Chains A and B, each alone.
Chain A
Amino acid sequence: MSTTNGMTSITRKFFMALSGFFLLVFLLQHCVINMLSVISPEMFNTVSHFMGTNPMVQFALQPVLAFGVVFHLGMGIMLELQNNNARSVKYAMNKPGENATWMSRNMIITGIMIMLFLGLHFYDFWLPELNVKFIQGDMSGLNAAGEFRYFEELQHKFHDPIRTGLYVVSFLFLALHLLHGFQSAFQSVGFRHNKYTPMIKKLGDIYAIMVPLGFVTIAVFHFLNA
């Protein structure tokens, strides 16, 4: 495999970690903003409108995010393919569970599940959003009644128990992905320290549970209140 794209295995891992870090930050802000919908629909609407119409967010951050997601995904798949190719004859008897966690060994599975979820998520929110704003050219963020449409749309989506269920399951996969990914990213960039690494691992566990739990809470809350 050598230096595909002029990158060595460590460089690839480094960029995988960097995009991971970026997505961690994104996830956190996404979770926090969505949490507003549970606390105060008005506040949620205001922030959503800002995020949806601010040119900085739309034309600078959003493409970066899109690139980050695509890169993380593409690189992840490429690494997985290479890694698979590094051992063409498999073991007849293997006990991988004896020395590594399920999460660490199955990032590709949890990753792909998250990718599938993103498809649904884009279909639910992003595509309609693009349609309204850029094809229909309605940047007002208002519904027919002249109120902000964001909260209403959000709640509307969670009418459906199947969709809500799919979201909840996806967040479970997200949690599994994060349980390994958070601390792994630090290792990949070479950050490891006797004192701080245990703290990072703890922090990673907290993050990996709290953020998806936040999303689950939001989905379930709106399902119940819809």
Chain B
Amino acid sequence: MDLTLKIWRQKNREAKGEMKSYPIKGVSPDSSFLEMMDLLNNELIEKGEDPVAFDHDCREGICGSCSMYINGEAHGPDRMVTTCQLHMRKFKDGETIHIEPWRANAFPVEKDLVVDRSSFDRIMNAGGFVSVNTSGNTQDANATPIPKEDADNAFDAATCIGCGACVATCKNASAMLFVSAKVSQLALLPQGRPEAKRRATHMVEQMDHEGFGNCTNTGACEVECPKGISLENIARMNREYLSASMSSDS
């Protein structure tokens, strides 16, 4: 396949960036999108140009590193995949492909397609955990049965990979899907219940503090999420948060 790539190039956080055009030839339709980027970078290096920086690591859709806005969609046109799992057979020979970094003020661009997502970490630090210390004496794992439905729903929420596609996609750059996935997972499990209110309050406050936009329920995040995290989680977080802010003790 022969393609034209239009890629966002930006030297560092302070620099002004621009879209640049790169022709690329002989791409295998069986290669992944990132392997296509490898090919481009190899050509750029051998030509003495600066290769395109992009985040990637596991290349099997689970680490959440890769983060490209491809042809106007987070992780490209395919559904339920990350960029690393997107294959070139989804594109047509001769096509022009636009590649941009995630855009959100809470995700500043570090270089080219690499953004800083530490705002997600800070939201987690604010309350995305169960306060239990390591000890060989926690109660037996089977001491508290958990209804299968709750365990399964908690698991579904917990599969979030923290890639940030929800923020990138949302017209408001809202992080509600990400935050709600963690709030939901822990709110659904008996182990997470004791501090559910505190967790919801703290995580939401941190989320706002980071400069993400407000959720307007467009549902775009759910569609673009490579793990299919449901909007149901946002509703649950709204409930958790509202009930927390209405109770007097929080």
Chain A residues with a Cβ under 8 A of chain B: 1-3, 8-14, 79, 82-83, 85-96, 98-101, 104-105, 107, 180, 183-184, 187-192
A187, closest chain B residue (CB): B217
Return B150 CB to nearest CB of chain A, in Å.
14
Cβ contact within 8 Å between A99 and B238: no
Cβ contact within 8 Å between A92 and B19: yes
Q: Does B234 contact A (CB under 8 A)?
A: yes
A105 in contact with B171 given A3-B205, A92-B98, A192-B231 (CB within 8 Å): yes
**How large, as a class, is the contact surface on chain B?**
35 or more
B171 CB contacts on chain A under 8 angstroms: 83, 96, 100, 105
Q: Find A96's partner among B19, B173, B220 (CB 8 Å cutoff).
A: B220
User: What 1/0 mask marks residues of chain B from 149 to 184 whose CB sits below 8 Å from any chain A CB?
Assistant: 000000000000000000001011110100000000
Cβ contact within 8 Å between A104 and B205: no
Cβ contact within 8 Å between B8 and A92: yes
Q: How far is it, in angstroms, between the C-alpha of A91 and the C-alpha of B220 when the chains are bound?
A: 16
Q: How far is it, in angstroms, between the C-alpha of A11 and the C-alpha of B106 when the chains are bound?
A: 21
Cβ contact within 8 Å between B224 and A99: yes
A13 CB contacts on chain B under 8 angstroms: 214-216, 238
Return A73 CB to nearest CB of chain B, in Å.
15
Chain B residues with a Cβ under 8 A of chain A: 6, 8, 19, 69, 71-73, 77, 98, 100, 103-106, 169, 171-174, 176, 204-205, 207-209, 211-220, 223-224, 231-232, 234-242, 245
A100 CB contacts on chain B under 8 angstroms: 171, 218-220, 223
Cβ contact within 8 Å between A87 and B173: yes
B213 CB contacts on chain A under 8 angstroms: 9, 82-83, 85-87
Q: Find A190's partner among B169, B214, B239 (CB 8 Å cutoff).
A: B239
Q: How far is it, in angstroms, between the C-alpha of A187 and the C-alpha of B242 when the chains are bound?
A: 12
Q: How far is it, in angstroms, between the C-alpha of A100 and the C-alpha of B72 when the chains are bound?
A: 13
Return B224 CB to nearest CB of chain A, in Å.
5
B211 CB contacts on chain A under 8 angstroms: 1, 86
A2 CB contacts on chain B under 8 angstroms: 205, 208-209
A98, closest chain B residue (CB): B73
Q: How far is it, in angstroms, between the C-alpha of A2 and the C-alpha of B214 when the chains are bound?
A: 11
B236 CB contacts on chain A under 8 angstroms: 190, 192
A9 in contact with B214 given A1-B208, A99-B73, A188-B238 (CB within 8 Å): yes
A104 in contact with B217 given A14-B242, A86-B104, A188-B238 (CB within 8 Å): yes
A88 in contact with B214 given A99-B169, A188-B238, A190-B242 (CB within 8 Å): no
* Residue in B77, B172, B207, B209 with the greatest tally of chain A CB atoms within 10 Å: B172
Q: How far is it, in angstroms, between the C-alpha of A89 and the C-alpha of B107 when the chains are bound?
A: 11
Q: How far is it, in angstroms, between the C-alpha of A188 and the C-alpha of B234 when the chains are bound?
A: 8
A12, closest chain B residue (CB): B214
Q: How far is it, in angstroms, between the C-alpha of A14 and the C-alpha of B246 when the chains are bound?
A: 12
Return A209 CB to nearest CB of chain B, in Å.
19
A9 CB contacts on chain B under 8 angstroms: 174, 176, 204, 207-208, 212-215
B215, closest chain A residue (CB): A13
A88 CB contacts on chain B under 8 angstroms: 105
Cβ contact within 8 Å between B214 and A82: yes
A3 CB contacts on chain B under 8 angstroms: 205, 208
List 25 A-B pairs, Cβ < 8 Å. A2-B208, A2-B209, A9-B174, A9-B176, A9-B204, A11-B242, A82-B214, A83-B172, A86-B172, A86-B213, A89-B103, A91-B72, A91-B103, A92-B98, A93-B6, A93-B71, A93-B72, A96-B72, A98-B72, A99-B219, A180-B218, A187-B235, A190-B237, A190-B239, A190-B242
